[in-house]
C-alpha cells in the first residue's frame, strides 16, 4: 500500500513537479563548437529532420515563423495537419479565405489556388478521407527546397544539433527514479519509473542477464527491442530508452497505468465487458495491428493480458517478444504464441502471415464478450494436445451475450481456414474495420486519438495485483557472463530512442523551458552558451 501511494502521488505530480532539482544541468546543451562532428554526420533528409522528429519539426516551424515570407506556409500546414480529421466545409472555406487575405508570395497564391477546388470536391465526396493529403505534400515539396537549405544555416538548426547531443547522452540507471513493481515477465520484472530530468513516468521492463543467458533468450530480447524502436503508433507501447545495468537489460516503455484487459475482464464485477468497451478496444487493437502489418510485422501473441490501458482508457498492444518481421513479405512457420490463442495454421506447422493475428483478434473479441476464452473455461487448463484438438476441430459456441454483429464478426475471424478468414482477403485491416460491428466507429478520428474512451480508469487506483502477490525474481546461479555476452549487450544498450525521447521533452515542457534564444539571435546567456 505504501508502494501504491508513492506511485499514485508520482503519477499525479507527473511532469514538471517530478523533475530533479538539477534537471537543467542534466539536460545542459553542449557548446556549439562541440557539435561539429554530429552536424557533419547528420543525414540531411528533410522528412526525418523537419517532419518526423518532433523537436526537429518544432525548430523548423520556429524558423519558418521567424521568416515573414514563410509564415503562411506554416499556418496552412498546421491547419491542414491538425484539422484534417475534423474540418468541415465551412471552416475549410474560412481557412483558405484567411490564407488568401494575408498572401505574401506569388508561389503561395498559386499553391493555394491549385488545391482549393480539388480539396472542396473531395471534402464533399468523402469527408472522412484524407482530403488535404495532396495539398500537404505540395507544401512539403516547396519547404524541402530552398527553405530547408536556409534552415540548415540558421541558429534553429544549430539548436537542433544541440538537442541531438543531449539526446545521445549515455543512459544508466541513475537517469531514473524507481517506484513499485508492476508485474513479472519471463525474464524479469517490470517496475514503474520516472525520468529525473523531465519527470516523465514510464514502465521499465528488466531482463535479468543470467536468466536471458540460461534460457538462450538473447535473440528474443534483441528482437523485441529492435522491433519496438522502429514503431511509432499510439496503439503500440513506445520504447523510450534501452540501457543496461550490471545485472539486467532494461527497456523503458510507455507507462500503462490502467491495467491489462485480463484484469478488466475477470477482476471487476461479472466476467466480460459491456458492448461499447468491446467495440472500442477491439477497434483500437485493429488500428494497432494495422500499423504492425503495414510494417510487415506479425504480432503473434494477441491475448487479453498483452493489451494494456493507459490512464485515459486508451489501449496499446504490448509485449512484442514474439513478433516477427516477414522478410520480403514471405510467410513464416513456427509454433509460437500462447496455447489457447494460437491459430489452427500455427498449431499445424503450416506457413502463415498476418492471418494468425486476425484469429487472435477473434479470440480477444470473443473473450471480452463472453467473459471466457473461446476454446476453454477461464480457469480450466486442458493438456496442450486437447487444446489443439479443440482449436482445430471444434466450433466455438455463442451464448446469449453475443449480438448478431459481434457473433458474425467473431465467426468470420475464427474461421479455421486462413484463406476464408476475415482480414486475409486482400485489404487487410480495412476489411475488418468495414464490418458492421464497427459501423459507429470513425477510424480516422480514432487514428488521430480523437475518440473518447467509454471507460476511464480511476487515477487513485493501481490496476494490478498487489506487490506481495507478484512472485519475486531471483538471479540464477551457476551462469557466468563473458566477452561474447558483452557484444550482445552493446547491441542492446543504445540509449534514448529519438522520437519517443523528443516527445518526452515536448510533453513535459522541458523543450519549451530550455529552448530559449537570446535577443536578436544571440545565444541565451543563462543557459551557458
Ligand atoms: P513478458 O514478455 O516477459 O511476458 P511483459 O512485457 O508481458 O513481459 O510484461 C510483464 C508484465 O508487466 C505485464 O503482464 C504487465 O503486468 C506489466 N507491464 C508490462 N509492460 C507494462 C507497461 N508498459 N506499463 C505497465 N505495466 C506493464
Ligand atoms: Mg507477457
Ligand atoms: Mg514477451
How far, in Å, from the CA of 253 to the mean position of ligand 2?
14
Interface confidence: ipTM more than 0.90: yes
Going through 161-266 in order, the beta strands assigned E by DSSP cover 176-184, 189-195, 201-208, 239-244, 248-254
Same domain, 277 and 410: yes
Q: Name which residue sits closest to atom 6 of ligand 1, judged by CA.
A: 319
Task: Determine the distance separating the centroid of ligand 1 and the alpha carbon of 380, expressed in angstroms.
Answer: 23
User: Beta 189-195 vs 315-317: how paired, if at all?
Assistant: unpaired
- Is the domain of 148 the same as that of 263? no
Query: Do residues 269 and 388 share a domain?
Result: yes
Query: How confident is the model at residue 225, as a pLDDT?
Result: 96
Q: Is the CB of 338 under 6 A from ligand 1?
A: no
Q: Are residues 128 and 268 in the same domain?
A: no
Please work out whether the CB of residue 50 comes within 6 Å of at least one atom of ligand 1: no
- Look at residues 286, 271, 276 and name the one whose alpha carbon lies nearest to residue 360: 286
The pLDDT value recorded for residue 106 is 59
473 inside domain: no
Q: Which of 154, 181, 211 is the last residue of a domain?
A: 154
DSSP labels, 8-71: HHHHHHHHHHTS-TTHHHHTPPPPGGGGHHHHHHS---HIIIIIISHHHHHHHHHHHHTSTTTH
Is 463 part of any domain?
no
The reply to whether ligand 1 has any atom less than 6 angstroms from the CB of 183 is yes
Ligand 1 binding pocket includes 278 (Cβ within 6 Å):
no
Q: For ligand 1, atom 7, which residue shows the shortest CA distance? A: 319
Together in a domain, 426 and 282? yes
Q: What is the 3-state secondary structure (H, E, C) of 390-436?
A: HHHHCCCCCCCCCCHHHHHHHHHHCCCCHHHCCCCCCCCHHHHHCCH
Residue 493 inside a domain? The answer is: no
309 close to ligand 1 (CB < 6 Angstrom):
no
| Residue 252: inside a domain | no
Which residue has the CA at smallest separation from atom 14 of ligand 1? 183
- The residue nearest atom 17 of ligand 1, judged by CA position, is 183
**CA 411 to ligand 3 center in whole angstroms:** 28
Closest CA to 7 of 192, 255, 198: 192
Nearest CA to ligand 1 atom 16: 183
CATH number at residue 86: 1.10.167.10
106-125 vs 133-143: helix crossing angle, rounded to 10: 160
Q: Inter-axis angle of helices 106-125 and 89-101, to 10 degrees?
A: 170
* Alpha-carbon gap, residue 410 to 335, rounded angstroms: 23
Assigned domain for 160 exists? no
Distance 45 CA to ligand 1 centre (A): 36
d(CA 213, CA 17): 39
Which atom number of ligand 1 is nearest to the Cα of residue 319? 6
In a domain, 313, yes or no: yes
> Is residue 205 within 6 Å of ligand 1 at its C-beta?
yes
Three cell numbers, residue 339: 496455447
Quick one: 264 and 149 in the same domain?
no
What is the tens place of the pLDDT at every residue in 450-484?
A: 999 999 998 877 777 665 666 666 667 777 777 78
pLDDT of residue 464: 72
**148 and 272 share one domain:** no
- Residues identified as active-site: 301
Please report how many Cα atoms fall inside a 13 Å half-sphere around the Cα of residue 76, on the Cβ side.
31
Judgement on whether residues 437 and 318 belong to the same structural domain of the protein: yes
Q: Kindly report the number of other CB atoms within 10 A of residue 515's CB atom.
A: 21
Q: Which of 458, 485, 516 is the last residue of a domain?
A: 458
Separation CA 41–CA 32 (nearest Å): 15
pTM: 0.90
125 and 268 inside one domain? no
The dihedral built from the CA positions of residue 433, 436, 438 and 442, taken in this order, carries a sign that is positive
Does 205 show up as a binding residue in the annotation? yes
Question: Which of 458, 487, 522 corresponds to the end of one domain?
Answer: 458
Question: What spacing in Å lies between the alpha carbon of 396 and ligand 3's midpoint?
Answer: 27
Q: Which of 4, 182, 237, 238 to mutate to test the pocket of ligand 1 (most atoms within 8 A of CB)?
A: 182
**Would you state the pLDDT for residue 102?**
53
Residue 161 lies inside a defined structural domain of this protein: no
Do 197 and 261 meet the contact criterion of CB atoms below 8 Å apart?
Answer: no
Collapsed DSSP state (helix, strand, coil) of residue 466: coil
Residues 296 and 420 in one domain: yes
> Residue 143: what pLDDT?
93
Ligand 1 test: best mutation among 205, 315, 465, most atoms within 8 Å of CB? 205
Q: Is 7 in the pocket of ligand 1 (CB under 6 A)?
A: no
Domain range holding 385?
259-458
47 vs 400: CA distance, rounded Å = 52
The answer to whether residue 390 sits within a structural domain is: yes
Per-residue pLDDT of the chain (529 residues; tens, 9 = 90+): 456 777 777 777 655 678 999 999 999 999 999 999 999 999 999 999 999 999 999 999 999 999 988 887 887 787 777 555 566 656 666 666 655 555 555 566 666 677 777 777 776 776 666 767 777 888 899 999 999 999 999 999 999 999 999 999 999 999 999 998 888 888 889 999 999 999 999 999 999 999 998 888 888 899 999 999 999 999 999 999 999 999 999 999 999 989 999 999 998 888 999 999 999 999 999 999 999 999 999 999 999 999 999 999 999 999 999 999 998 888 888 888 888 899 999 998 899 999 999 999 999 999 999 999 999 888 888 888 899 999 999 999 998 899 999 999 999 999 999 999 999 988 789 999 999 999 999 998 899 899 999 999 988 777 776 656 666 666 677 777 777 888 889 999 999 999 999 999 999 999 999 999 876 544 444 444 3
Residue 185 CB less than 6 A away from ligand 1 = yes
Atom of ligand 1 nearest to the CA of 305: 14
Q: CB count, 10 Å around CB of 294? A: 11
Element (H, E) at 183: strand 176-184
Residues 495 and 25: their CA atoms lie apart, in Å, by 19
**What's the pLDDT at 527?**
46
Tell me if 324 sits within 8 A of 386, measured CB to CB.
no
Q: How far apart are CA 104 and CA 124, in angstroms?
A: 29
Question: From the CB of 74, is ligand 1 less than 6 Å away?
Answer: no
Q: What is the CATH number of the domain that holds 372?
A: 1.10.510.10
Residue nearest to atom 25 of ligand 1 (CA): 256
pLDDT, residue 525, reads 44
378 Cα: distance to centroid of ligand 3 (angstroms): 21
φ and ψ of 75, to 5 deg: -60, -45
In total, how many domains does the chain have? Answer: 2
Amino acid at each position: 500500500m505504501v508502494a501504491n501511494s508513492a506511485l499514485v502521488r508520482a503519477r499525479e505530480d507527473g511532469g514538471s513537479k517530478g523533475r530533479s532539482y538539477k534537471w537543467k544541468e542534466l539536460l545542459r546543451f553542449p557548446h556549439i563548437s562541440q557539435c561539429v562532428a554530429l552536424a557533419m554526420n547528420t543525414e540531411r533528409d528533410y522528412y526525418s529532420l523537419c517532419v518526423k522528429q518532433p523537436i526537429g519539426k518544432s525548430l523548423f516551424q520556429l524558423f519558418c515563423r521567424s521568416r515573414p515570407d514563410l509564415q503562411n506556409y506554416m499556418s496552412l500546414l498546421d491547419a491542414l495537419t491538425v484539422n484534417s480529421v475534423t474540418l468541415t466545409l465551412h471552416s475549410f472555406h474560412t481557412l483558405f479565405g484567411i490564407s488568401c487575405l494575408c498572401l505574401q508570395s506569388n508561389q503561395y497564391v498559386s499553391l493555394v489556388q491549385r488545391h482549393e477546388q480539388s480539396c472542396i470536391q473531395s471534402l464533399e465526396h468523402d469527408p472522412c478521407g484524407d482530403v488535404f493529403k495532396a495539398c500537404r505534400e505540395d507544401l512539403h515539396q516547396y519547404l524541402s527546397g530552398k527553405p530547408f537549405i536556409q534552415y540548415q544555416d540558421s541558429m534553429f538548426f544549430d539548436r537542433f544539433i544541440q538537442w541531438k547531443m543531449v539526446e545521445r547522452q549515455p543512459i544508466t540507471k541513475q537517469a531514473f527514479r524507481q517506484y513499485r513493481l508492476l508485474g513479472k515477465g519471463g525474464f524479469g520484472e517490470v517496475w514503474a519509473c520516472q525520468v529525473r530530468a523531465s519527470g516523465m513516468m514510464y514502465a521499465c521492463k528488466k531482463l535479468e542477464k543470467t536468466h536471458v543467458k540460461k534460457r538462450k533468450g538473447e535473440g528474443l530480447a534483441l528482437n523485441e527491442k529492435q522491433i519496438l524502436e522502429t514503431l511509432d503508433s499510439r496503439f503500440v507501447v513506445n520504447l523510450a530508452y534501452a540501457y543496461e545495468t550490471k545485472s539486467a537489460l532494461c527497456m523503458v516503455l510507455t507507462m500503462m497505468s490502467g491495467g491489462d484487459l485480463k484484469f478488466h475482464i475477470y477482476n471487476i464485477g461479472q466476467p466480460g465487458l459491456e458492448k461499447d468497451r468491446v467495440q472500442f478496444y477491439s477497434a483500437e487493437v485493429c488500428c494497432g495491428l494495422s500499423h504492425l502489418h503495414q510494417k510487415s510485422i506479425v504480432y503473434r501473441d494477441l491475448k487479453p493480458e498483452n493489451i494494456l490501458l493507459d490512464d485515459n482508457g486508451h489501449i496499446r498492444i504490448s509485449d512484442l517478444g514474439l513478433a516477427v518481421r516477414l522478410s520480403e513479405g514471405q510467410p513464416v512457420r513456427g509454433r509460437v504464441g500462447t496455447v489457447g490463442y494460437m491459430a489452427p495454421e500455427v498449431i499445424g506447422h503450416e506457413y502463415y502471415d498476418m492471418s494468425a493475428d486476425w484469429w487472435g483478434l477473434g479470440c480477444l473479441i470473443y473473450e471480452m464478450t463472453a467473459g471466457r476464452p473461446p476454446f476453454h473455461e477461464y480457469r480450466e487448463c486442458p493438456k496442450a494436445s486437447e487444446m489443439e484438438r479443440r482449436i482445430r476441430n471444434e466450433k466455438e459456441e455463442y451464448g446469449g451475450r453475443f449480438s448478431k454483429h459481434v457473433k458474425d464478426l467473431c465467426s468470420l475471424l475464427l474461421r479455421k481456414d486462413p484463406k476464408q478468414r476475415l482480414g486475409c482477403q486482400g485489404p487487410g485491416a480495412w476489411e475488418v474495420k468495414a464490418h458492421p460491428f464497427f459501423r459507429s466507429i470513425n477510424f480516422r478520428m480514432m487514428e488521430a486519438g480523437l475518440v473518447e474512451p467509454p471507460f476511464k480508469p480511476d487515477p487513485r487506483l493501481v490496476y494490478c495485483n498487489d506487490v506481495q502477490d507478484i512472485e519475486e525474481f531471483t538471479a540464477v546461479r551457476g551462469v557466468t557472463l563473458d566477452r561474447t555476452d558483452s557484444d550482445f549487450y552493446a547491441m542492446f544498450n543504445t540509449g534514448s530512442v529519438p522520437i519517443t525521447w523528443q516527445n518526452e521533452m515536448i510533453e513535459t515542457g522541458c523543450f519549451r523551458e530550455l529552448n530559449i534564444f537570446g535577443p536578436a539571435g544571440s545565444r541565451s546567456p543563462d543557459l551557458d552558451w
